[in-house]
Amino acid sequence: MKAIILAAGQGTRIRSEHGERPKCLIAFNDTDWTILDQQIYALSAAGVREIGIVVGYEKQQIVRHIAENYWGSHRRFTFIENPRFRETNNIYSLWLAREWVNGASFSALNADVAFDPVVLPPALASSGPITMIVDPAWRDETMKVVIDGDRILRMSKQITRDEFSGTYIGVTVFDSSIADRFFHKLGRLIWDGRTQVFFNAGVQELIDEHVRVGYTLTGGHAWAEIDDPGDLAFARSSVFPELALSGTAA
């Protein structure tokens, strides 16, 4: 199992609070522990050793953070550059990692998501081709999913409260059996000019072709996707303290 952290984005909506820094380097309350550190911790605790980080905006800040804080295990990390980060969405960043993945099973994590590490192992242990981590609760301005039984049928930020079954937290696991087919889907979407969409568009196309996309639940454990100052305020008040109590921000 490998992991890809998608950290190329500019994070323009959070700059008033965070400055000219990648969102993954947002620090937890009164600590030097960042979202990136928390994701690395969660992956390590789940037994994932090989981590690819797709970088773009202020890439040297991320490279330097890894060099300074993980110097004893730096060989675990591979940096994949997205030179088109200003004009593309995470579909392009993930597609650039295809050769590094090389057909292996992998998890894809949006780099602006802080989450309790306990939510990750059930998704990694899933036997399905694709597994998304889902919170049954509604969260504004995030990707929602519609579920039927044990599978996800649809995902979109436009799903209404009347339709939705849960909120996608920004972590997806892909089995080796679907990896090449999934990256082929991303390549076709990019070839068609759809570089501004989320990689979930490729997942949706596989769903439409009857590939089973399953899910695991957060189980009430803390998480936050941080896009803007409001998200950061929520994380600081309700999520970072919970993660600190669980020992993941120390």
Q: What is the pLDDT of residues 110-123, one digit of tens each?
A: 999 999 999 999 99
pLDDT tops 60 at residue 231: yes
Tokens linked to 235: 């994380």
Quick one: pLDDT at residue 71?
A: 87
Work out the pLDDT band at 31, boundaries 50, 70, 90. Answer: confident
Quick one: pLDDT at residue 17?
A: 84
Beta bridge partners of 112: none
Q: What is the pLDDT of residues 136-158, one digit of tens each?
A: 999 988 999 999 999 999 999 99
Quick one: pLDDT at residue 2?
A: 98
The arithmetic mean of pLDDT across residues 14-34, rounded, is 90
| Domain 2-245 listed as CATH 2.70.98.20 | no
DSSP 8-state symbol, 86: T
- Tell me the CB-side half-sphere exposure of residue 151, using CA atoms within 13 A: 14
The arithmetic mean of pLDDT across residues 155-175, rounded, is 96
pLDDT tops 80 at residue 247: no
Tokens linked to 174: 């892909």
Quick one: pLDDT at residue 245?
A: 67
Give strand ranges (E) for the chain. 2-7, 50-55, 77-81, 106-110, 113-115, 130-135, 144-148, 151-156, 166-174, 213-217, 223-225
Tokens linked to 96: 């650039």
Mean pLDDT taken over the chain:
95
Identify which has the larger pLDDT, 74 or 47. Answer: 47
Quick one: pLDDT at residue 126?
A: 94
Pairing of strands 166-174, 130-135: antiparallel
